[in-house]
Structure 1
Amino acid sequence: MALRIRNHIPGLTAALTILSLAAVFAAVLGVIPQSSLPRAPEPLIELIPHINAIISTIAVMTILLGVRFIRHGSVRRHRAMMLTSVGLFIMFLILYLYKVILKGPAEFLGPDVIYQYIYMPTLAVHILLAIVCIPLLYYVALIALSRPIEAIYESRHKIVGRVAASLWLISFVLGNVVYVMLYVVY
């Protein structure tokens, strides 16, 4: 299995990226009908943004720990933290898409000047980085999961991983800034 994956990492990365982005855009654009999902109680749905803010904060910490561990040569701990980060991201995305399908994207209720000059640029950069991160994350994860540790050093995992981790961190942090503007400040 690992050998098959190893020989098709670019193609698998592209396919997984297309499927993931199609699901996100289908949810955000209202293509997926609400009736296709079971409906949780309203108070639980209302908690999703707050749960996702906690998940994002924990993900920032696990990514930072993963970077720290690999810098100190602890591959096993690095792998554990990065896989934890991927798991947190998947959990975040499932909850986010569930809420968006059922209720649509959150509406910004603050002043127009904040909306135009702070909220929208922050949201745009957050979304752009999230989109760019998806193929990078699939690529480094597929390399890491399909090769023995010693073979990973011969791949582009380190180079792509540095870029992916940096952009992923910024995206998660900006996502929390968006959360604060939507649910705390306004």
Structure 2
Amino acid sequence: MMSSHLSFWGLALILFASITASTLLGWREIRRGNVQRHRRLMNLAGALVGVFVLLYVGKVIFLGREDLSHWSPWDLAILRIHETFIAVMILSAGSARWIARRLGGPSDDARDRRRHRLLGRIGATSCLLAFLTALVVLRQLVVNAGP
């Protein structure tokens, strides 16, 4: 039988797949020069991250945290790497968004555009890596949940 924790993380993985897809599609759109579609897709990804954060807070309040006492050091290392990718994604993508909002649109300031591009690439790459490590973490949750 699937626990409430596993159900939550299964749904969270679907949500994170949507975040990753929106991010990668947004990246594709800016490479094609479509700034408006890029902006919409990145705003969607950001909104979905916000939804995840709210759902996670609710999960911790109502279901509590996972029991990691039976996890091996390897399992815990993968989890911490995953959490690091999430933190990098939020910080870099949030910074890229802040620069974009501060600029208010296409800018002639090459330095700001370069920073936005670099932070966006870091955010998109860490998003993809966070999703891939989430697959491993979910597998670990299932294995460690036992029969």
Question: TM bucket by the smaller chain?
Answer: 0.7 to 0.9
Scaled by the length of structure 2, the TM-score of the pair is: 0.80
Structure 1: unaligned runs, 5 residues or longer: 1-42
Q: Distance in 1 between matches of 2:142 and 2:109?
A: 43
Aligned to 2:25: 65
CA RMSD of aligned residues (A): 2.6
Map of 1:1-186 to 2, 5 A cutoff?
47-107=7-67, 115-117=72-74, 119-151=75-107, 154=110, 155=112, 156-183=115-142, 186=145
Report the Cα offset of residue 102 of structure 1: 2.4
Amino acid at match of 1:166: T
Structure 2: unaligned runs, 5 residues or longer: none
Aligned residue for 1:165, secondary structure, equals: helix
Identity %: 27
Report the Cα offset of residue 168 of structure 1: 2.1
Q: Distance in 1 between matches of 2:69 and 2:41?
A: 36
Q: Distance in 2 between matches of 1:49 and 1:152?
A: 43
Aligned pairs, number = 140
Q: Distance in 2 between matches of 1:177 and 1:75?
A: 34
Aligned residue for 1:92, secondary structure, equals: helix
Asked if the contact 1:140/1:161 (under 8 Å) is kept, the reply is yes
Scaled by the length of structure 1, the TM-score of the pair is: 0.65
Q: Distance in 2 between matches of 1:176 and 1:80?
A: 27
